Structure 1
Amino acid sequence: MERVSVLAKYIPLEAAQIIAQWIVDSPCQFTISRSRKSKFGDYRPPYGGKGHRISINNNLNQYAFLITSVHEFAHLKTWKEHKNKFKPHSLVWKNNFKELMQPFFALEIFPTDIKEAVSAYLSNPSASSCTDLNLYRALQRYDTVKDGHIVLEHLPQDRLFALSSGRVFEKGPKLRKRYRCVEKPSGKVYLFNPLAEVKMLS
């Protein structure tokens, strides 16, 4: 099946076969999207004559791509069962996510660290999506970091770093979950995710 062969470029073949069947059974429009910095993927319910729609970023590693796909199918399943009666990452959604993850756990597709991170994430109803730092950190270990770049939390404090846009910042202290960073030379303050990938400046 062509759908399986396309998905197998992004996730293991056994997983591609399952996801391809979900696309048919749902049914839904499944799109492999260009990279989006604000999210790994998204789900949109039927609207304006269009059916269920899921999109996943094309630059994710195989484990992030698969988990994000399951994440969005859990939204689809929740909507089909309850429409919009529950919040996006409610306990109902988490139970659906946990149920949909089981075939991939049974196939032992995930490395131990990712499987443990997913299990911990599912046991914590207060966490939302891949903003859960423990899960995000586990997935990021399997990314290929661009030359000259570093994860922000590994950068020493008071060091300068740049974004892909060329904007330069100085890393400051951590405030709860994010780092307080000052843009140069404007002096404006921004809060950064500790797992943001930045270019280290000398």
Structure 2
Amino acid sequence: MKKDQVLAQYMPAAAAPIIARWIDYFQCEFKISKNRTTKLGDYRHPFKTAGHRISVNNDLNHFAFLVTTVHEFAHLLTWNDHKNKVKPHGLEWKNNFKRMMNPFLEQQVFPEEVQHAITVYLLNPAASSCSDLHLSRTLKKYDLASKGTRLEEIPLHAEFTIKDGRKFKKGERLRKRFRCTCLDNGHIYLFNPLAEVILAATGT
């Protein structure tokens, strides 16, 4: 199966040939990874004998997968231009991300509401599309199946479980994230409001 045919299983079909060309042009190792709770995708710059490496989670819907892929390729381009002399999500990365997203906006590969959310997000792209709640909420509408409840929907101090089985208690919101206590080890973790959790059953 050709590269663009494989990619078309994970992103809008019209976008796959462009991403396939990028992979070949930059001689990038592109990996479709299993779900990772802490990140949607990852870029690693060349090191020793390894070249550019990008990985994107396989459980993202087609539109989130493409946005994440472009995000990581913007890191690759920024590394090629500046190496490690600039901030990872500084002005250079933002400009590259906007430029690399343009072909997909021009082809209108996204539904209208996603296209609009991305256009607004591009006014000042953040380190992660997840940190833009409007874009993240819009993208999540296209998830095939929700695995739980959003953290923002459960009561303060409620107990919940995440995918790896760890249990937490929901705490106060600090700016964009909720401060939650892990009941297994007592450590504090910051959660995205849109994180999918399983609300613990309460006794009667």
TM-score between the two structures when normalised by the length of structure 2: 0.87
Please state whether the residue corresponding to 1:88 is helix, strand or coil: coil
Percent identity, please. 52
Alignment partner, residue 141 of structure 2: 141
How far apart in 2 are the matches of 1:82 and 1:72?
15
Counterparts in 2 of 1:108 and 1:95: CA distance versus 1, 3 Å? same
Query: What do residues 140-187 of structure 1 show as CA deviations (whole Å, max 9, x unaligned)?
Result: 2222212xx201111133433222343333333323222233444876
1:109: how far off? 1.2
- Structure 1: tracts of 5 or more residues without a match: none
How is 1:32-111 mapped onto 2 (pairs within 5 angstroms)? 32-111=32-111
RMSD over aligned Cα, in angstroms? 2.1
Q: Is the 8 A contact 1:158 1:171 kept in 2?
A: yes
Query: Within 5 A, what are the aligned runs for 1:20-35?
Result: 20-35=20-35
Structure 2 unaligned regions, length at least 5:
none
Q: Which moved more, 1:131-140 or 1:30-39?
A: 131-140
Counterpart amino acid of residue 52 in structure 1: H
**Which stretch shows the higher mean deviation, 4-13 or 167-176?**
167-176
1:180–1:54 CA distance, 2 compared to 1 (3 A): closer
Give the whole-Å Cα distance in 1 for the aligned partners of 2:70 and 2:185: 42
Q: Are the equivalent residues in 1 in contact too, given 2:10–2:62 (CA < 8 A)?
A: yes
Match of 1:180 in 2: 179
Q: Which stretch of structure 1 is more off in the superposition, 98-107 or 186-195? A: 186-195
Q: Would you say the 8 A contact 1:35–1:58 is kept in 2?
A: yes
Q: Is 1:121–1:132's contact at 8 Å kept on the other side of the alignment?
A: no
Matched residue SS, 2:15? helix
- Once the two structures are superposed, residues 33-77 of structure 1 have per-residue CA deviations (whole angstroms, 9 ceiling, x without a partner) of 111111111111111122111111111110111011111111111
For 2:187 and 2:74, locate their aligned partners in 1 and report how far apart those are by CA, in whole Å: 39
Contact 1:89 1:129 in 2 (8 A): no
Q: Quickly say closer, same or farther: Cα 1:45–1:187, change in 2 above 3 A.
A: closer
Q: Which amino acid aligns with 1:145?
A: S
Partner Cα separation in structure 1 for residue 65 and residue 155 of structure 2: 30
For 1:188 and 1:86, the matched residues in 2 are separated by 32
For 1:60 and 1:186, how far apart are their aligned partners in 2? 30
Equivalent position amino acid for 1:13 in 2: A
